[in-house]
Amino acid sequence: MANDEPGWELYRSFLAVMREGSLSAAARALGMTQPSLGRHIRQLEATLGVALFTRSPQGLVPTDLGHELLPHAQAMSASSAALRRAASGSNHEVRGVVRVTCSEVIGAEVLPPMLTDFRRQYPGIVIELSLSNQAEDLLRKDADIAVRMLRPVQSALVARRIGRIGLGLHAHRSYLKAHGQPRMLAELSEHAIVGYDHETPALRAVRSKLPFGREDFSLRTDSDLAQLAAIRAGYGIGVCQCAIARRDRNLVHLLPDAFAFGLDTWLVMHEDLKASRRTRLLFDHLVQALTIYANGER
């Protein structure tokens, strides 16, 4: 291996190719020319003394070593982004960038009015909102604040329990008008059910509480937003947050006595960020707003 240390820009180009799948797409994503990005890849391979991609008529195919390097390059990218956020304002200023990560439904359906209220009070704080059902790594500083449905166990994280967000079976009135309303769980087999495609660890944790499984679903999707949209469109019966359903008078809560459970919800941040005023302000604001939401008061 050469003694020269590869610059971050080379790893950034490597990440873009791994993410986009081709030189041309990666170059567009980075705002570079394809020849320049190709030189970055060759330079990185030469500096490391290894092959990261094999060349084929179909483009670049990552080698096994390329796949092994990917999480390390992602960690570098997260650190670079965290550095830029930290430099966006001092710990004592009410300005700068705070990155929040949460699930699709929380980010699209729950947080927007809360963040709007926060923006009115602190217009100097810029919020990056990352919607993903895959938990981002707060220890690696992928994000500053996270809304989680599982209590974190890492001692370096600060966690506040929000409460239990209630879930229930719901359907649009148009669906019920056309197909009737089930009076017991056993009748669900006669209806179109909206559900998941692939089982996740979170789903396995609550599977015993669900009166149906993947083979029972008439619509399968791993996007919680797509499931919610299908329920709202009258496709069938599905599970959604009760507080979200209460906003729409056309959504009917079905079998509340027979099927009801809640998701423990936590707001989490890295303990290193307690000294950051902008992060602490947003953390405290979301604790209060989400607690009100979880208690059904909003």
Contacts for 97 with CB less than 8 Å, ≥ 6 apart? 84, 85, 88, 89, 125, 126, 127, 128
pLDDT digits (tens, 9 = 90+) for 49-100: 888 988 777 677 889 888 888 888 877 777 777 776 776 666 676 888 899 9
The token pair that represents 109 in the structure block: 């359906």
Tell the CATH topology of 164-263. Answer: D-Maltodextrin-Binding Protein; domain 2 (3.40.190)
Considering the domain delimited by 8-86, tell me its CATH architecture.
Orthogonal Bundle (1.10)
State the pairing for strand pair 261-270/96-102.
unpaired
Report the pLDDT averaged over residues 199-223. Answer: 79
User: Which sequence spans correspond to the domains of the chain?
Assistant: 8-86, 164-263
Answer for the pair 172, 233: CB distance below 8 angstroms, yes or no. Answer: yes
Least confident of 14-23, 157-166, 197-206, 255-264: 197-206
pLDDT digits (tens, 9 = 90+) for 115-145: 999 999 999 999 999 898 766 565 566 788 9
| % of the chain exceeding 90 in pLDDT | 44
- Judge if 8-86 and 164-263 fold alike in CATH terms: no
The CA distances from residue 229 to 156, 168, 219, 223, 244, in Å, are: 37, 16, 12, 10, 12
Report the pLDDT averaged over residues 159-169. Answer: 93
The token pair that represents 95 in the structure block: 């300005």
pLDDT of residue 280: 92
Average pLDDT, the chain: 86
Question: Is residue 108 scored above 50 in pLDDT?
Answer: yes
Look at residue 188 and give its three-state secondary structure.
helix
Ranges 72-81, 209-218, 275-284, most confident: 275-284
| % of the chain exceeding 70 in pLDDT | 89
Q: How confident is the model at residue 208 (pLDDT cuts 50, 70, 90)?
A: low
Look at residue 62 and give its three-state secondary structure.
strand
pLDDT of residue 139: 56
Answer for the pair 192, 219: CB distance below 8 angstroms, yes or no. Answer: yes
In angstroms, the CA 279 to CA 140 distance is 16
Q: pTM of the prediction?
A: 0.71
